[in-house]
Amino acid sequence: MDLMKNYESRLVNQVKNGDRNAFREIVEDNKKKIFYLAYDLTGSLQDAEDLSQDVFIKAFRSMHTFKGEASISTWLYRITLNTFLDQKRRKSYETEKYQHTLDEHLAAEPVFNGNPITANPETYAESQQMQMHIEQALEHLSPRERSVFVMRHLQGMSGKTVGELLSISEGTVKSLMSRAIKKLQNVLGFYKDSLGIEVYQ
Amino acid sequence: MKTCKKIKDVIPDLLNPGNELSKTEVENVYAHLKNCARCSETYKEMAALKALMDKRPHPQMSDEFWDNYYSRLEEKLDAVTIKSPGWGRWFRGFKMQWVLYPAAAAAVLVVGIAVAQFLSLPGDQNLLTTAVTSIHRLNPAVANHFDNVQPLLVDYSNYTPEENNGKEDTEIPEETVMVGKSTIQKLLLENQLLKQVVAKEDNITAAQLIDELELILLELKNSDGNSKETARAVQQLIEDNDILFKMKALQRKRGKTGNI
């Protein structure tokens, strides 16, 4: 753990001194995490690209405020959430809903259950439809609800951590989470039976 | 009832394999679920939602996409100059040839006029004319260059460092001046080019100002443009040399004589 901290604080100091290579190292270490978090938040590959890059630019420019109390990735998560919420507030991210043309160019061969989709076109069509429904359902959430839901449910973070990241109380995290779940269940309820969920162990 | 609410809040953790719940907590939740039909139903619904969400896999991006991620980012990083209203937006469309072509044209004209004056006038009169023209005219390329540098200088001049109260703020304070290295590089090149132009024009005030600007731009180029120390040093240079005042005074002379 200490080793990791030393490594990170060395990188941060180098970036503070204008070292672009050190910054590149930070980007390479975190690009996938931040890109996919941005994807979960925005639901579009193009927006994920824009948001994640905005995050790294912000990080580069505000590196002098980083004091090493949290890890770099936690700090980047926080910037991602704040930038996402901020941009939603300013409505600069006018996501074109379900616009897959650009996304298809960006994505490599899509995968379904770990197999390339072309291996099974029918299942692919079904999964595409389901995914579209999921994206539509996620669009029903407010940016704050979506942020909490993504961090709690998709990233598997504890309520406490999510509260710290978003600078809100654990109670607020809980109520946002429960609102998000309720909305999603309303929209996606018809899938419930087809999934064949076994009740706990 | 109170327990039911607590359980509901814990279910998302329970559904995540890497949760931070203790063994006892997990056992307690399961014990409650077995005896409470309502919570058991909530669990089922949440588990269904989680399973559904897991069917929304992250799209796999090509190796090329990841390999080029940083270079795409770096392009954007270079395009971002200063976080202050107007400046960043203004500079985004900036192209070097806007300066190079007028500067080259101006240089040719200046040399041509100087030669013409030298040929047509006796020595004393020649000197006088040059002095008068230099007072009244500012080469448009130089004027443009000053326009380019001025917002940057104004930002540094207005810079007031503020402590963050020990907080790790993700937002850069508005007062912090930020300049991209590539911007500095462009301005420095522009400055060096025009230095030769004004030298030929005998515009001593402009030449001095360009010399002082060079010092500032070199300071920014050779140090971390984002640090408070650099900002303070640059601010000091601007104040000590009255740069903004001189620049405004010279800019007032622009366009009065029309051409050059």
Q: Which residues of A touch B178 (CB under 8 A)?
A: 61
B74-78, B141-145, B169-173, B231-235 — which is least confidently predicted?
A: B169-173
Is A149 part of a structural domain of the chain? no
How many angstroms separate the Cα of B116 from the Cα of each of B142, B195, B203, B257? 22, 22, 18, 18
Residue A102: the pLDDT is: 44
What is the nearest CA distance from A197 to chain B, expressed in angstroms?
6
Tell me the mean pLDDT in the region B106-113. Answer: 75
pLDDT-based confidence at A80, cuts 50/70/90? very high
- Cα dihedral sign for A34, A37, A41, A42? positive
User: In this structure, are residues B137 and B255 in contact, taking their beta carbons and an 8 Å threshold?
Assistant: no
User: In this structure, are residues A111 and B60 in contact, taking their beta carbons and an 8 Å threshold?
Assistant: yes
Domain chopping of chain B, boundaries: 2-54, 80-251
pLDDT-based confidence at B100, cuts 50/70/90? low
A24-28, A116-120, A135-139, A152-156 — which is least confidently predicted?
A: A116-120
Tell me the mean pLDDT in the region A7-33. Answer: 91
Residue B151: the pLDDT is: 81
3-state secondary structure of A107: strand
CA distance A180 to B50: 12
pTM: 0.54
Rg of chain A over Cα atoms, rounded to whole angstroms, equals 19
pLDDT of B228 strictly over 80: no
Residue B175: the pLDDT is: 44
pLDDT of B64 strictly over 70: yes
**Does residue A126 or residue A134 have the better pLDDT?**
A134
Cα atoms in the Cβ-side hemisphere of radius 13 Å centred on B157:
14
The ipTM assigned to this model is: 0.80
For residue A55, the enclosing domain spans 1-107
**Nearest one of A56, A118, A147, A94 to B77, comparing CA atoms:** A56
pLDDT-based confidence at A41, cuts 50/70/90? very high
Tell me the mean pLDDT in the region B52-75. Answer: 87
Residue at B62: amino acid letter:
S
CATH code of residue A27: 1.10.1740.10
**Does residue B36 or residue B131 have the better pLDDT?**
B36
Q: Tens digits of per-residue pLDDT, B22-47?
A: 888 888 888 999 989 888 888 888 88
Q: Calculate the average pLDDT of chain B.
A: 73
**Nearest one of A50, A124, A33, A122 to A84, comparing CA atoms:** A50
Q: Tens digits of per-residue pLDDT, A129-178?
A: 777 888 888 988 999 999 999 998 888 888 889 999 999 998 999 899 98
**Does residue A111 or residue B223 have the better pLDDT?**
B223
pLDDT of B96 strictly over 60: no
CA distance A149 to A177: 6
What is the nearest CA distance from A8 to chain B, expressed in angstroms?
16
CA distance B55 to B59: 11
3-state secondary structure of A98: coil
Return the bridge partners of A112, or none.
A115
Rg of chain B over Cα atoms, rounded to whole angstroms, equals 32
A165-174, B76-85, B101-110, B128-137 — which is least confidently predicted?
A: B128-137
Q: Which residues of A touch B57 (CB under 8 A)?
A: 111-113
- B60 Cβ under 8 Å from any chain A Cβ: yes
CA distance A109 to A115: 10
CA distance B243 to B153: 8
In chain A, which residue's Cα lies nearest the Cα of B77?
A57
- B228 Cβ under 8 Å from any chain A Cβ: yes
Residue B126: the pLDDT is: 45
As for how many domains chain A has, the answer is: 1
Tell me the mean pLDDT in the region B150-168. Answer: 68
Residue B178: the pLDDT is: 59
Q: How many helices (H) and strands (E) does chain A have?
A: 9, 2
Tell me the mean pLDDT in the region B99-107. Answer: 72
pLDDT of B256 strictly over 60: no
**If phi over 0 gives left and psi between -120 and 50 gives alpha, with beta otherwise, what is residue B137?**
beta
**In terms of residues, how long is chain A?**
201
User: In this structure, are residues B91 and B180 in contact, taking their beta carbons and an 8 Å threshold?
Assistant: no
Residue A83: the pLDDT is: 93
**Nearest one of A152, A145, A138 to A184, comparing CA atoms:** A138
CA distance B106 to B109: 5
* Phi, psi (rounded to 5 degrees) for B252: -65, -25
3-state secondary structure of B41: helix
Helix axes B96-120, B123-136, angle to 10 degrees: 150
Per-residue burial over B221-256, b = 16 or more CB atoms within 10 Å of its CB, e = otherwise: eebbbbbeebbebbbebbeebebeebbeebeebbee
**Nearest one of B188, B158, B189, B193 to B176, comparing CA atoms:** B158
Return the bridge partners of A115, or none.
A112
Task: Choose, out of A158, A160, A194, the residue to mutate when testing the contact with B (most B CBs < 10 Å).
Answer: A158
Residues 49..108 of A with a Cβ closer than 8 Å to B: which?
49, 53, 56-58, 60-67, 69-70, 75, 78-79, 82-83, 103, 106-108
Residue B120: the pLDDT is: 56
What is the nearest CA distance from B77 to chain A, expressed in angstroms?
6
Residues 99..158 of B with a Cβ closer than 8 Å to A: which?
none
CA distance A175 to A160: 13
Question: Which residues neighbour B49 within 8 Å (Cβ) at sequence distance 6 or greater?
Answer: A153, A181, A184, A185, A188
Q: Which residues of A touch B164 (CB under 8 A)?
A: 65
User: In this structure, are residues B187 and B193 in contact, taking their beta carbons and an 8 Å threshold?
Assistant: no
Q: What is the DSSP code (8-state) at residue B62?
A: P
pLDDT of A99 strictly over 50: no
Q: Tens digits of per-residue pLDDT, A176-187?
A: 998 998 888 888
Residues 3..32 of A with a Cβ closer than 8 Å to B: which?
16-18, 20, 24, 27-28, 31-32
pLDDT of B187 strictly over 50: yes
Residue B116: the pLDDT is: 63
pLDDT-based confidence at B91, cuts 50/70/90? very low
